[in-house]
Amino acid sequence: MIQVSSAQVLMYPNHTLTLLLIGTYFALLLIGMVRRGREISGPWLFLLRSFFPNWRFYHDIGYQPRLYWRYADDDAQWSDWTLCMPRAAFRPRDLFHNADNNLALARQNLVDHLSADVQGLPDDGDARTLVTYRLVDRLVREQLQSRSLSVARYQFQVRLLPATQAPDDAVNLLTSPELPWS
């Protein structure tokens, strides 16, 4: 770290004070990390959460929420479950304009939020009342529509996939009812 002699302390008291304040700030941050208090939540805090630092980018691996959908045609034949996950081919020019891929990542964020909302529901709660449920329902319809499929009914699931075990160990968090297309 920065060495400050006693002569310098006397000559530059403001610098020493600034150093002390910065040092105290980072020490308090470390203490705050170790002793985490209760989390504050609320609808406005959620909508304005970009004002509050979230330093936990990719902080640890755990269960990852993934969206699956399937559909039935007019003969009531159900397809296999299809995973909806953002994937793309790398293009250097995306550094300057990456609208479609950022939108794909926003779709996955929506699934993450639905997962969090469902886990926060009371025991007698109904997921269908959640805004995130309705938005994910629209997302599934968008996915089906983009494939020009002949859909009579559809259904979706949110599964929690373990990062370190086989995908077979996935936890089924939510299964929608079989929903009519029209």
Partner 1 sequence: MELTTPYAAIRWLEAAIGVSLLIQTFEFLRIPQATAVTGVWSWPVQRADLAHAQRWLRSVFDVLFDARVHHAHLLLRVVAAASLLLGGSALSIGFLFVGTVVILIRWRGAFNGGSDFMTIVVLSGLLIAHLAAGVIEPNLAWRAGLWYVCIHAVTSYFISGAIKLCSPNWRSGHALTTFLDGGLYGPLPVGSLLRRPRVAQLCAWAFILWECCFPLALVGPDWAIMWCAVAAIFHLLVFRFFGLNRFFWAWVASFPAIIHCAGQW
Measured from the Cβ of residue 38, the count of other Cβ atoms closer than 10 Å reads 5
Among 11, 83, 106, 121, indicate the residue that binds partner 1 (CB under 8 A).
106
Find, among 84, 69, 98, the residue nearest to 176 by Cα.
69
In whole angstroms, the minimum distance from the beta carbon of 75 to partner 1 comes to 28
Find, among 158, 62, 84, 155, the residue nearest to 119 by Cα.
158
Q: Give the burial class of 55: count Cβ atoms within 10 A of its Cβ; 0-12 exposed, 13-18 middle, 19 or more buried.
A: exposed
156-to-48, 79, 150 alpha-carbon distances in Å: 29, 12, 17
Candidates 58-66, 69-77, 116-124, 166-174: pick the segment binding partner 1 (CB under 8 A): 58-66
In whole angstroms, the minimum distance from the beta carbon of 127 to partner 1 comes to 14
In whole angstroms, the minimum distance from the beta carbon of 20 to partner 1 comes to 13
**Residue 56 interacts with partner 1 (CB under 8 A)?**
yes
Find, among 65, 66, 69, 72, the residue nearest to 141 by Cα.
69
Positions 110 through 149 that interact with partner 1 (CB under 8 A): 110, 113, 131, 134-135, 138-139, 142
Instruction: Return residues touching partner 1 (CB under 8 A).
Output: 2, 15, 22, 25-26, 29-30, 33, 43-44, 46-61, 64, 86-90, 94-107, 109-110, 113, 131, 134-135, 138-139, 142, 163-164
